[in-house]
């Protein structure tokens, strides 16, 4: 199985998980890592390690992060460049839904492009789109 | 100058860099300077600024080569007050230090909301204060600057490590 970790500032990770569960029901292989104002880089890394451990045995792990350049993204980089890890920043609910839906069917090599594209496609401005189609 | 043990991260990347209008950010930290991937990620986190990463000693020589005008547009970030003192002792002139993120650890005490200090850190802050440096504890620019006197702070226990 492909394990998923939501990591970010404040309650974003748990809130994302709750939103997903509202749409898709409870999920296994999905952990969260929430960071607060008072944690050091090392403590954030430790929290991420713990989330990894809670996932248990996985064929690969995907970290979904809220903000590029935020502390959780620096923690993800501290694992080095590994073949069994993916880390997406600017993650949105569409990416999470897609990831959970296809993770057991897709080849690991194809997952990166597909989830990136899902995330990009999800960002739209609907009023402008509607005006243009009217 | 800013003290922040996370260097360029959410709060710094989004708010401080644009607030101070820095053209160049110098991260002076021995551990980060030796971490190639971590350094690359720090640089990518501030795409509109030039980011230079040096050990504290190399940072001193690097900053010493800059003239006054260049120094005005440089934002230096160190991880702890002890490293800030090392820069000062190395001959770098600083009037104002923004204290950003200090981490809560077992050996630290919260002396003010979100300000966590161990013994060594407090001693370094007291020395910086004694030298007349304006110590400004704010996580983000829109916070109000608190009225803090480090010389009045006493810790119950704990050792600060950098």
> Is B147 inside any structural domain?
no
Q: Is the pLDDT of residue B158 over 70?
A: no
> Is B119 inside any structural domain?
yes
A41 contact B CB<8A: yes
Instruction: Return phi, psi of residue A22, to 5°.
Output: -65, -35
Q: What is the pLDDT of residue B160?
A: 56
Class of domain A2-133: alpha beta
Q: What is the pLDDT of residue B107?
A: 82
Instruction: List, for residues B44-101, the tens digit of each pLDDT value.
Output: 988 888 999 999 999 999 999 999 889 988 999 999 999 999 999 999 999 899 998 8
Does B105 contact A43 at a Cβ distance shorter than 8 Å? yes
> Is B149 inside any structural domain?
no
Instruction: List, for residues B10-44, the tens digit of each pLDDT value.
Output: 777 768 888 888 889 999 999 999 999 999 999 99
> Is B14 inside any structural domain?
yes
Those residues whose C-beta lies under 8 Å from the C-beta of residue B36, and which sit 6 or more positions away, are none
Q: What is the pLDDT of residue B161?
A: 56
Number of structural domains found in chain B:
1
Structural domain harbouring B111 = 2-140
B-chain CB neighbours of A38 within 8 Å are 103-104, 114, 116
* Pairing verdict, β B109-112 and B115-117: antiparallel
Mean pLDDT of chain B: 89
DSSP chain A: -EEEEEEEETTHHHHHHHHHHHHH---SSEEEEEE-TT--HHHHHHHHHHHHHHH-S-SEEEEEES-TTSHHHHHHHTT-S-TTEEEESS--HHHHHHHHHHTTTS-HHHHHHHHHHHHHHH---HHHHHHHH-
Q: What is the pLDDT of residue B159?
A: 59
Is the ipTM beyond the 0.85 threshold? no
> Is B150 inside any structural domain?
no
Do B45 and B6 touch, CB atoms closer than 8 A? Answer: no
Residues 105-144 of B with CB under 8 A from A: 105, 114, 116, 139
- Nearest CB among A38, A42, A77 relative to B38 is that of A77
pLDDT one digit per residue (tens) for chain A, 134 residues = 999 999 999 999 999 999 999 999 999 999 999 998 778 888 899 999 999 999 999 999 999 999 999 999 999 999 999 999 999 999 999 999 999 999 999 999 999 999 999 999 999 999 999 999 98
Size of interface A-B (CB pairs under 8 A): 56
Q: What is the CATH number of the domain that holds B11?
A: 3.40.35.10
Residues 57-96 of B with CB under 8 A from A: none
Interface test with A, best of B41, B77, B108, B162 (most A CBs within 10 A): B41
């Amino acid at each position: 199985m492909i394990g998923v970790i939501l990591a970010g500032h404040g309650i974003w990770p748990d809130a994302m998980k709750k939103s997903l569960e509202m749409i898709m029901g409870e999920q296994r292989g999905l952990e969260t890592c929430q960071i607060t104002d008072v944690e050091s880089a090392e403590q954030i890394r430790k929290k991420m390690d713990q989330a990894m451990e809670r996932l248990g045995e996985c064929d690969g792990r995907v970290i979904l992060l809220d903000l590029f350049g935020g502390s959780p993204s620096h923690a993800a980089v501290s694992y080095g460049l590994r073949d069994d890890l993916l880390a997406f920043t600017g993650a949105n609910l569409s990416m999470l839904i897609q990831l959970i839906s296809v993770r057991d069917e897709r080849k690991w090599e194809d997952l990166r492009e597909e989830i990136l594209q899902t995330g990009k496609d999800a960002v739209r401005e609907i009023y402008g789109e509607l005006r243009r189609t009217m | 100058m800013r003290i922040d043990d996370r260097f360029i991260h959410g709060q710094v990347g989004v708010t401080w860099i644009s607030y101070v209008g820095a053209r160049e950010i110098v991260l002076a930290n021995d551990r980060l300077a030796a971490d190639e991937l971590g350094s690359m990620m720090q640089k990518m986190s501030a795409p509109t600024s030039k980011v230079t990463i040096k050990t504290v000693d190399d940072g001193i020589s690097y900053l010493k080569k800059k003239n006054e005008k260049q120094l005005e547009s440089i934002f230096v970030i160190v991880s702890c007050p002890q490293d800030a003192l090392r820069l000062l002792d190395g001959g770098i002139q600083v009037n104002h230090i923004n204290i950003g993120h200090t981490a809560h650890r077992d050996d630290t005490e919260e002396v003010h909301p979100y300000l966590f200090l161990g013994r060594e850190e407090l001693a370094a802050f007291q020395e910086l204060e004694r030298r007349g440096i304006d110590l400004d504890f704010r996580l983000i620019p829109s916070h109000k600057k608190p009225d803090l006197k480090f010389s009045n702070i006493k810790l119950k226990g704990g050792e600060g490590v950098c």
